[in-house]
Structure 1
Amino acid sequence: MSPNHTPRKKVSPSPSSSTTLITTLIAVLAIFTGIYYVLDSRLSSFYIFDPAHLHDLSKRAIGKHGDDTRAIVHFIVGELSEKLPGGYVNLAEEWIFNNAGGAMGAMYIIHASVTEYLIIFGTAIGTEGHTGRHTADDYFHILTGTQLAYTPGSFEPEIYGPGSVHHLHRGTVKQYKMDASCFALEYARGWIPPMLGFGYADALTSTLDFPTLWRTTWVTGREIVGNLLRGKL
């Protein structure tokens, strides 16, 4: 080592700067927590769909069209577009594969926003999987076919046929199965963005179907942003 070389001393953050950083982080967390609780207490004011109306609409569609799933879907979307004009209802029938919780089917996104989504979900050949544990209440209105559900400790399945509603309460979880062809009007109300991770997980870790993942992202993002621009949270 050269006699003229002076070793550089490591500069450590001063105790005061570390304290300031921690204080700032705590303040930011407190602000966001406060905003979350205020908005969460007012969630119902952001909803534009009503579970009771969707149940009645589903039953009327089934009563008019029987097992004709396509006609049922058109009936439901048609009435919703009349009831909620202004672009809140997506009339472009864009069917997209959906893999989530080990189950596979297809969906048509009728509405997507920060606090609600409404889709037609189903499969013509059956599937089975995990419901996910979500930050929203999920109402599964069976249109055609049958869905089975199971919770640990039960010895008999829950059975949901056409016209019935499977309500998965926010924060709860079940196993579900569609033995054969089954389609449903699925309505979720609560915080929707945290649910997207469940919807993406299978594509990122199993199917690696990136074109479908991109299409899902594009349609979902387009609808959420569009509704935000309309003032719909």
Structure 2
Amino acid sequence: MVQHISSSLRRKYPSTQIAINPDTSEWVFNNAGGAMGAMYIIHASITEYLIVFGTPLGTEGHTGIHTADDYFNILVGEQWAFSPPNLTMEVYPAGSVHHLKRGQLKQYKMHKGCFALEYARGWIPLMLPFGFADMFSSTLDYVSVYNTARITAREMLRNLLILKI
């Protein structure tokens, strides 16, 4: 499925308009808000990113509070979420979209075998500390920090060069 998404995007959007990461084997661990999974960065720029995130094991954590709208398109599996004062569980099955509006925060759980296509749009640099905090403060997974920073910077730079900024 990931290969299909990546190749379809590359066919639809020429490299003169947007940079799409063609290396679908370039997965890295991601620990953020207490949740752990793996991600493949398809596209990253200053104002948006597109990743596949998930885990075959299941995970849960805090969404963080961000300066971007986040659209979590559930590809397989199921995600649950909630945000007080509404104490009812939100259920997002495969094929649905969990939209986390900028400034909103929730607890979420991705069940065993859940993967999502995540699209964020807004001011992305301010989201990066949340993405790195767990790796610096608890897991000390500097290999994943390095690979995440390297891939994100490379993709952001590729997109800046396309815009000739």
TM normalised by structure 1 equals 0.68
Matched, 1:80 2:4: no
Count of residues in Structure 1 that have an aligned counterpart in Structure 2: 162
Between the aligned partners of 1:114 and 1:207, the Cα distance in structure 2 is: 27
Matches within 5 A, 1:63-212: 72-86=1-15, 88-93=19-24, 94-212=26-144
Aligned-residue identity in percent: 60
Change over 3 Å in CA distance of 1:232–1:103 after alignment to 2 = farther
Q: Select the structure with the greater relative contact order (CA < 8 A; seq sep ≥ 6).
A: 2
Between the aligned partners of 2:49 and 2:164, the Cα distance in structure 1 is: 12
**Please, what is the CA RMSD of the aligned residues?**
1.2
Between the aligned partners of 2:86 and 2:126, the Cα distance in structure 1 is: 29
Between the aligned partners of 2:79 and 2:124, the Cα distance in structure 1 is: 23
Q: Unpaired runs of 5+ in structure 1?
A: 1-71
Between the aligned partners of 2:147 and 2:3, the Cα distance in structure 1 is: 22
Between the aligned partners of 1:202 and 1:209, the Cα distance in structure 2 is: 9
Task: Give 4+ residue runs of structure 1 displaced > 3 Å after superposition.
Answer: none
Query: Does 188-197 or 72-81 show the bigger shift?
Result: 72-81
Between the aligned partners of 2:8 and 2:38, the Cα distance in structure 1 is: 22
Higher strand share: 2
Where does residue 225 of structure 1 map in the other structure? 157
TM normalised by structure 2 equals 0.95
Matched, 1:213 2:142: no
Higher helix share: 1
